[in-house]
């Protein structure tokens, strides 16, 4: 398995996020990636490369997944935030006002020119700090996902896009959940364009992959599956129910397995087996796995009960599909076990592949 690492990930380093009425220290910190890299150096799985950052094809791929207006917003958001008030340079950009969805309550077709208010047009939470280096870090991360998918379409059995910020909560025109650009969706899109007629995305992060689901909701060529904490009680709350099955041409091409807090390996694996069957029934020829290791029992912001030794079994079950596979690094927030959990899963995959 090759790993494509984001050399600029640390340019994105949010300081604080809003959580239930207070600003708390960011969970999504550069050390998370450092932990995975350290563990990969202890237990190597293959070559670690950097992506080509001036790939001329990257922009076209980005535009297949995200709206041009949204990408323009992201690219300029920090500059606009500081232009509003030079003192903002010392502060992370967080939204604090949103247009309402209720009938007649807000205009959605007009974009405010106030840079602080504009954040509310694109962000779905106030827990996702946007910083001076966010755009460059996220863009380099996108290059990692694209490079990983290209390597796999060129014949590698598997590749790991080791990048942050994560991506699976980012939609066609929205950010949140620490995510700005949807790396898993980009990988799926690249695999499609490389000739894989049907691609499956199987999201194992604790949180529902709302961004990926939204991006592909009406597409019949990409099957999106997510196993996650039940949105009735768990973030991101407003999507991820079992009855979301896709729409239009994509009817039947989305499946969700919401599970209660406290779910252990046995119940979680049962959902995984159903998801694996769905991938096989779809006759996918390539697989993308948004790899969130916040399903680990010790995670500080999640609620499943998988133990570190369970991760290898998950990896080997994924390998059982025998598909060319791209992993993208998503959640996982412990200060000490993020790397072990991720590499346990990837090593389990490798051993069984
Ligand atoms: N203060 C991913 O795992 N809210 N995103 C948590 C804790 C946001 C998770 C509240 C969780 C986002 C990629
Ligand atoms: Zn997560």
Q: What's the pLDDT tens digit per position in 11-39?
A: 999 999 999 999 999 999 999 999 999 99
Alpha helices in 178-310, H assignment, sequence order: 183-193, 210-216, 265-281
CB 122 within 8 A of CB 70: yes
241 — pLDDT class (breaks 50, 70, 90): very high
Which two structure tokens, joined as six digits, stand for 351? Answer: 């051993």
pTM value is 0.98
How far is residue 280's CA from residue 278's CA, in Å, rounded to a whole number? 5
CA 125 – ligand 1 centroid, Å: 10
SS3 261: coil
Closest CA to 142 of 52, 82, 240: 52
For residues 144-148, give the mean pLDDT: 98
* Ligand 1 pocket: which of 205, 207, 292, 302 to mutate (most atoms within 8 A of CB): 207
Question: Which of 127, 182, 213 should be mutated for ligand 1, with most atoms under 8 A from CB?
Answer: 127
**Structure-block tokens of residue 330:** 């998503």
* Rounded (5°) CA angle 201-250-160: 15
pLDDT grade for 224, boundaries at 50, 70 and 90: very high
Cα separation, 303 vs 151, in Å, equals 34
Centre of ligand 1 from the C-alpha of residue 178, in Å:
7
CA–centroid distance, 159 to ligand 1, in Å, is 25
In short, whether 129's Cβ falls inside 6 Å of ligand 1 is no
Query: What pLDDT digit, counting tens, does each position of 159-174 carry?
Result: 999 999 999 999 999 9
Q: What are the Cα distances from residue 167, in Å, to 67, 145, 185?
A: 15, 10, 8
DSSP classification of residue 172:
S
How many angstroms separate the alpha carbon of residue 303 from the centre of ligand 2? Answer: 10
Is the CB of 234 within 6 Å of ligand 1? no
Residue 64 CA, distance from chain mean position: 17
**Which ligand has the nearest atom to the CA of 16?**
1
From the CB of 165, is ligand 1 less than 6 Å away? no
Mutate to test the pocket of ligand 1, among 175, 235, 290, 329 (most ligand atoms within 8 A of CB): 235
Average confidence (pLDDT) over 238-247: 98
Q: At what angle do helices 68-84 and 134-153 cross, to 10 degrees?
A: 160
> Which ligand 1 atom is the nearest neighbour of the CA of 176?
12
Q: Which of 225, 188, 226 is nearest to 208 (CA)?
A: 226
| Ligand 1 close to Cβ of residue 331 (< 6 A) | yes
Question: Can you give the pLDDT at residue 30?
Answer: 98
Closest to 125 (Cα-Cα) out of 241, 27, 227, 237: 237
Range list of H helices, the chain: 31-42, 58-65, 68-84, 115-122, 134-153, 183-193, 210-216, 265-281, 311-319, 338-352
255 CB under 6 A from ligand 1?
Answer: no
Q: Pick the residue whose CA is nearest to atom 5 on ligand 1.
A: 177
Residue 27 Cα to ligand 2 midpoint, Å, equals 11
DSSP label at residue 282: T
With a pLDDT cut of 70, the percent of the chain lying above it is: 100
What is the number of the ligand closest to the CA of 234? 1
3-state helix, strand, coil in the chain (%, to 5): 40, 15, 45
Helix (H, G, I), strand (E, B) or coil at 142: helix
Closest residue by CA, ligand 1 atom 3 = 331
- Does 141 have pLDDT greater than 90? yes
Q: What is the pLDDT of residues 171-208, one digit of tens each?
A: 999 999 999 999 999 999 999 999 999 999 999 999 99
118 lines ligand 1 (CB under 6 A): no
> Using a 6 Å cutoff on CB, does residue 230 contact ligand 1?
no
pLDDT at position 111 over 90: no
| Protein residue whose Cα sits closest to atom 11 of ligand 1 | 177
């Amino acid at each position: 398995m090759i790993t494509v690492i984001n050399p600029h990930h640390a340019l994105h380093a949010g300081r604080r996020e809003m959580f239930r009425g207070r600003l708390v220290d960011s969970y999504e910190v550069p050390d998370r990636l450092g932990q995975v890299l350290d563990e990969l150096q202890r237990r190597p799985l293959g070559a670690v490369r950097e992506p080509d950052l001036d790939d001329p094809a990257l922009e076209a791929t980005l535009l297949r997944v995200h709206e041009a207006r949204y990408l323009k917003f992201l690219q300029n958001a920090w500059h606009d935030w500081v232009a509003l008030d030079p003192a903002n340079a010392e502060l992370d950009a967080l939204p604090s006002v949103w247009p309402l969805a209720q009938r007649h309550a807000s205009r959605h077709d007009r974009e405010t020119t106030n840079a602080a208010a504009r954040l509310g047009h694109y962000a779905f939470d106030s827990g996702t700090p946007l910083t001076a280096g966010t755009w460059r870090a996220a863009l380099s991360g996108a290059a990692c996902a694209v490079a990983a998918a290209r390597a796999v379409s060129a014949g590698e059995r598997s590749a790991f896009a080791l990048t942050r910020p994560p991506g699976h909560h980012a939609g066609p025109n929205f950010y949140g959940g620490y995510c700005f650009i949807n790396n898993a969706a980009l990988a799926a899109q690249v695999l499609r364009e490389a000739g894989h007629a049907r691609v499956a995305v199987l999201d194992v992060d604790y949180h529902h992959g709302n961004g990926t689901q939204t991006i592909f909701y009406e597409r019949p060529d990409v099957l999106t599956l997510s196993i996650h904490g039940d949105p009735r009680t768990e973030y991101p709350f407003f999507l991820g129910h079992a009855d979301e099955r896709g729409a239009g041409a994509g009817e039947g091409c989305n499946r969700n397995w919401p599970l209660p807090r406290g779910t252990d390996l046995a119940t979680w694996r049962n959902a995984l087996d159903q998801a694996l069957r769905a991938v096989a029934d779809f006759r996918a020829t390539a697989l993308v796995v948004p790899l969130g290791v916040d399903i680990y029992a010790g995670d500080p912001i999640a609620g499943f009960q998988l133990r570190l030794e369970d991760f290898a079994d998950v990896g080997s079950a994924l390998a059982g599909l025998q598909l060319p596979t791209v992993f993208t690094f998503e959640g996982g927030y412990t200060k000490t076990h993020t790397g072990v959990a991720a590499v346990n899963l990837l090593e389990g995959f490798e051993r069984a592949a």
